[in-house]
Amino acid sequence: MDTDSGFVYAKACPSRTVVDVLANKWSLYILGLLRQHERPLRFTELRRRIEGVTQKSLTQALRNLERDGLVSRTVYPTIPPRVEYGLTALGIEAGALTTAIADWSRANASRVHAARASYDNRPD
């Protein structure tokens, strides 16, 4: 296996860093939520709508998404400053993936939970 050829499963493939960001559960929720609302959202709106996310985790995920060009951050010069996060064109494309994952998850959650229960109840 040639690790310089861009083989996606190779440790040296640059796409792995992108997959790492997209595989973060908070990134998936952020991209999906921004795509669903089709408008920029403030930090507090995101935090309120994504149950269970800490301020630190949300901040880190937003910074990673902004760094990768998936999310734009706009600061308005008000007191206190108003900051909004929206999807870039690249983020809209990635958001389509998160929507597909969310749709699949909703459609198959009962099957996955049944499989878990079956696995957990197997005799040792």
pLDDT tens-digit map of 48-58: 999 999 999 99
CA distances, 5 to each of 8, 11, 16, 22 (Å) = 9, 11, 13, 22
CB–CB of 36/50 below 8 Å? no
Dump pLDDT digits (tens) for 89-113: 999 999 888 889 889 999 999 999 9
- Using DSSP's 3-state secondary structure scheme, residue 5 falls into helix
pLDDT, tens digit (0-9, with 9 covering 90-100), for 36-48: 898 999 999 999 9
Q: Is 24 exposed, middle or buried (0-12, 13-18, 19+ CB in 10 A)?
A: middle
What single DSSP character describes residue 4? G
| Domains of the chain and CATH, by start | 3-120 (1.10.10.10)
In SS3 terms, 75-99 reads as EECCCCCEEEEEECHHHHHHHHHHH
Q: What is the pLDDT of residue 61?
A: 96
Check whether 1 has a pLDDT greater than 70: no
Token pair belonging to 121: 């109840």
Strands 71-76 and 82-87, sheet pairing: antiparallel
| Segment 49-85, tens digit of pLDDT | 999 999 999 999 999 999 999 999 999 999 988 999 9
pTM of this prediction exceeds 0.85: no
- Between CA 49 and CA 1 the distance in angstroms is 43
